[in-house]
Structure 1
């Protein structure tokens, strides 16, 4: 049976896990060990409390906190009450968070009061006091801060489990479970609507294919505000009784300690994570023999990295995959038994019941081996962008094909080879960075008159940003000034690592910036 039909909703996965796995460990967070039965109890309290706050079917709620037990229980509580989770990137600054909360129409905010030296609620209340989401605020971790209540005070609002069970019973696979905001080439984030059933079907299949089992432990490093940490992470794990170990901030040394102590067997993430583990001075002193399954994606994977992951990190299985948020973040994946060359060179074959086409500029399908735009159709494709019918129509055509903007080709065995992630997008340590959005933010600096951003190679992060800046008249701007301003006003992965000052940006007759000229200029400078 398909997982969407069997479980119906994400909260119901936890109820089923409590019956199937009982007191087996569901979560390890610091010194806390929480069994599946205890997790169900926490979820039911959260559902009842969310209902007491007035959260009901279709209500959007912002969730901004690091990977933690509280993030998971809050999400389950919101969804169990019929609400829709709006995960927020903890690296985002106030302006970015405010935009998403307003665009989604969020009526409440669950946020950490102290993470990365930030009280998200306090910052938003100072900068945007009229934000509707601030009418009801809950502090997820630590002190109350500027929120209306602490996490424990929130959990005490509920009136018992029976109404919570009834609310979960009313959920269906077709209901929207979350709106995942993804940046885009328009310069504004767009909210991808995804349903309970889409996620259960995609990640139920993936976790079964990858061999997840009740004896496994999964150190979840990718953040929960991304499908990689949330759906391929804790959701996929709970379907099979896997123990989840959330990691709030990646630290290679700490990760090595956790792998040894908790006998971690599953570790998924961008190549950066495995690069750092392999090159950490303490690696040879830790027992990593428990590691079994890995999947990495986001950038091209060197075959040497795959070999090192098997030899030096003890993985039996290393896989690769491709997806984008608009496709529930899963389109193709390699399979157990594929060669190292296939895993390194391709992202594998389409998952069941999902179609992939490659088309040329005229929309005609191209033969294997020829590059074209990647189109995707199937149950995994979003029903649309939140409150943005124009963007939805531009991305998904009348016959249901999602136009990804990514370029690739199919090899002779049907494996998808990614040639170019979106035309402008680049990937910083597993995070998608969109030049149009970063340029828009940089233009908020009064000393920047014009700016164009490109992705450039980086040995550790894969790619980083390089900003070509035209200074405002009379401005005495340095590279350090631009970087410092950017660090204050945008998420860290968006901050350009290189700044080049130019008198004018190269443009064509239509005044479009010639990014290829800028790439050539950067490469010439690096050669010199």
Structure 2
């Protein structure tokens, strides 16, 4: 990493000098060079400063991937503020809770996206990303390195825990820069790469392995708001995409493309999940043009923990999460839980010292809640989730949170959620439901539709089974292994 870069804005603004007229962003008909993109970020920072945003203030962005999202996010940081990305899959009430507890001074939204109604639930000023706000400021000229510190918090990304209420993980500037410099190297991201960004920017991967890595390397960023395989294939062919990370479901979709000649520009891919079929990795290598395919393990609270290495076998990429990252210690506790320590571990959960102390022990080990083991070659294999989390198409689903939503239904007395295998999504939720009355007429389809109206799509159970009771242990805790 460049030793002079202590902050993310310092690195981002330097891209104008490092990459000049090279194409930085392509979003529909909009094409911006690095010089033009940095100028827009400076104007956005000026607009935030004129709005009253100061160093350390928090500003939320609740919108899909777009050029405006990029400009807003780095404009917020350049103004000295802290970025709070909000999950676009959240319903309005879920997002309002996160925004309120983050203490955000303002929220940037894309009006009309997925039919969300922002103004009825948010009690802080909302700014439309598509308005002229981002271009209304005088270019922000104060050099961030002179007044921001590398130890300052750069972003707060909310992640759910077993209690179901999202917690805001705080990361600082310098740890993020170090972490994604290593990621960019191992992922083989190069200057001039054309990076199709399907991973959402509200997620650590989209924001950091996507945007920050691209600014580090000088890649062209092509945001995708909503995944559609035909649209993605068209962009790959038309824009000569070289870099395409995504969950296993993305690669399953690409393997179904009849005309593989449209994909010939692809060179580097990145995927990750608890368990990827070896045959899928083999087919990606045999049937798609990727020269490199990286996998890894990480979490919001610590970014990258392990990453695969160039030359790893099909089996290594499919069944392990790679080797520990530089400067990151990883060990497996006696109960099988993966513990992480090092520079990459978060600063803590925002305004939640109790949850922070529960997650990070006195010796600074982060307790991940994931169960793992090391292979003979020293690679980490994730074998389960201590907290019963499961991953739906790349999104973490937390049973306790979903169960909390379901128990609000007047016909439900008790419910347990588990993850079950799914060929396309990797895993999906299954609900075991105990009705309040034996004469209840609630059906599976009706309950699933009720869920769709109240929670993000990836959280909605795909299967519902009505049972007379749930298996419990001596203390009354539901034994989910017996449900599986």
Offset of residue 110 of structure 1:
0.5
The DSSP-based 3-state class of the residue aligned with 2:288 is coil
Which residue of 2 is the match for residue 337 of structure 1? 311
User: C-alpha distance in 2, partners of 1:36/1:70?
Assistant: 14
Tell me whether 1:255 sits opposite 2:232 in the alignment: yes
The DSSP-based 3-state class of the residue aligned with 2:202 is coil
Q: Quick one: which of 469, 475, 484 aligns to 1:510?
A: 475
Which residue of 1 is the match for residue 10 of structure 2? 12
CA contact (8 A) 2:60 2:84 kept: yes
User: C-alpha distance in 2, partners of 1:299/1:274?
Assistant: 16
Pair 1:288–1:154, CA change in 2 (3 A): closer
CA contact (8 A) 1:14 1:36 kept: no
Which residue of 2 is the match for residue 461 of structure 1? 425
Which residue of 2 is the match for residue 39 of structure 1? 37
Tell me whether 1:153 sits opposite 2:153 in the alignment: no
CA contact (8 A) 2:79 2:140 kept: no
Offset of residue 503 of structure 1:
2.0
Which residue of 1 is the match for residue 216 of structure 2? 239
Offset of residue 287 of structure 1:
2.5
CA displacement, residues 192-241 of structure 1 (integer Å, 9 cap, x when unaligned): 11111111110011102322211211101010010111100111011111
User: C-alpha distance in 1, partners of 2:62/2:53?
Assistant: 17
Pair 1:285–1:417, CA change in 2 (3 A): closer
CA contact (8 A) 1:81 1:168 kept: no
Tell me whether 1:480 sits opposite 2:445 in the alignment: yes
Unaligned 5+ residue runs, structure 2? none
User: C-alpha distance in 2, partners of 1:285/1:336?
Assistant: 25
Q: Quick one: which of 376, 379, 383 aligns to 1:419?
A: 383
Which residue of 1 is the match for residue 293 of structure 2? 318
Which residue of 2 is the match for residue 298 of structure 1? 273
The DSSP-based 3-state class of the residue aligned with 1:211 is coil
User: C-alpha distance in 1, partners of 2:419/2:237?
Assistant: 36
Unaligned 5+ residue runs, structure 1? 126-130, 142-149, 362-371, 520-528
The DSSP-based 3-state class of the residue aligned with 2:195 is strand
CA contact (8 A) 2:47 2:133 kept: no
The DSSP-based 3-state class of the residue aligned with 2:371 is strand
Which residue of 2 is the match for residue 26 of structure 1? 24
User: C-alpha distance in 2, partners of 1:336/1:78?
Assistant: 36
Pair 1:123–1:457, CA change in 2 (3 A): farther
- Over 3 Å off, 4+ runs: 166-169
Which residue of 2 is the match for residue 206 of structure 1? 183
Q: TM-score, normalised by structure 2?
A: 0.97
User: C-alpha distance in 2, partners of 1:285/1:319?
Assistant: 21
CA contact (8 A) 1:47 1:78 kept: yes
Tell me whether 1:407 sits opposite 2:374 in the alignment: no
Aligned positions, number: 483
The DSSP-based 3-state class of the residue aligned with 1:355 is strand
CA contact (8 A) 1:299 1:462 kept: no
Offset of residue 449 of structure 1:
2.0
CA contact (8 A) 1:61 1:107 kept: yes
CA contact (8 A) 1:181 1:192 kept: yes
Which residue of 1 is the match for residue 149 of structure 2? 172
The DSSP-based 3-state class of the residue aligned with 1:205 is helix
Tell me whether 1:102 sits opposite 2:100 in the alignment: yes
Q: TM-score, normalised by structure 1?
A: 0.89
CA contact (8 A) 1:80 1:168 kept: no
Q: Quick one: which of 115, 134, 157 aligns to 1:117?
A: 115
Deviates more, 1:258-267 or 1:486-495: 258-267
User: C-alpha distance in 2, partners of 1:462/1:166?
Assistant: 45
CA displacement, residues 4-50 of structure 1 (integer Å, 9 cap, x when unaligned): x4322222222111001101000110111110000011000010101
Q: How does 1:386-401 map to 2 (within 5 A)?
A: 386-401=350-365
The DSSP-based 3-state class of the residue aligned with 1:122 is coil
Offset of residue 123 of structure 1:
4.3
